[in-house]
Amino acid sequence: MKKLNYIALTALVIVSFTAIGCNSIGKNENADKNQTTVENKTEESSKDTDKNDNFETRGNSPRDQAIFEENEERDNTERDKRYKEVDKSKLNYDESNSSLTYYETENSFVGSEAGIPNVDNKKYQDILTDYTYACEVNPTKVTYEDAIRLARSVLPNDIKEIRNKYDNSTGKTHIVYSSNQGNFVLGLAYDYDESHNSGFTPNSKNDTIVGINYMKEITEQWRRTVARFA
């Protein structure tokens, strides 16, 4: 049961990471103090919560954090191993663990309910969640150059970059690729403090990346494939 709770909670955090990027991780003292205050209040309120409540009613409670801490993948050992041993022929680019969709805006990719003007009618869904580093759950710390290398190790061999865009409000770059297997989006979240320093230049090879996620454009073929294996 703990494992199922972790998987479901991780999926929600990945969704949040996909849409809004990351906050500073362990560097901003004021943020840490604020977070401690919030967690203390949450812990007090959770005492009145039924022990059998699921994660959807409790959000980011101390109990949820305990589930995270008990899971052996929090340190990314298994995820790092997947990248090293990946076999692209066994990857399924038409599988998503979430029904939520995203669309492209002028500066970013956001959830379909965001209410921000979109640039076209295309929609996207999360894929390759086993290779996702969600910065609020299981952050990584690699250079931009190495993050691109990791992404290319799991995306189709024939990908070609179409465009990329940096969202200053979330500190995240999205790179759109075309491929014979569809159009893909790579999301790269920068270290918050680094990306908000004066003189920061996104997409530089030595920038620090703390989050990596993947999306694929939803097409009619995608829908037929998903329906066939549902």
What's the structural domain count of the chain? Answer: 1
State the average pLDDT over residues 146-153.
98
- Say if residue 215's pLDDT is above 60: yes
Range of the domain at 26: 2-229
Q: At what angle do helices 144-154 and 77-84 cross, to 10 degrees?
A: 60
Q: What angle do CA 201, 202, 208 make, to 5 degrees?
A: 100
Query: Does residue 80 contact residue 72 with C-beta atoms inside 8 Å?
Result: no
Is the entire prediction scored with pTM above 0.95? Answer: no
The span from the CA of 61 to the CA of 160, in Å, is: 42
Mean pLDDT value of segment 128-136:
94
Q: What is the pLDDT of residue 50?
A: 43
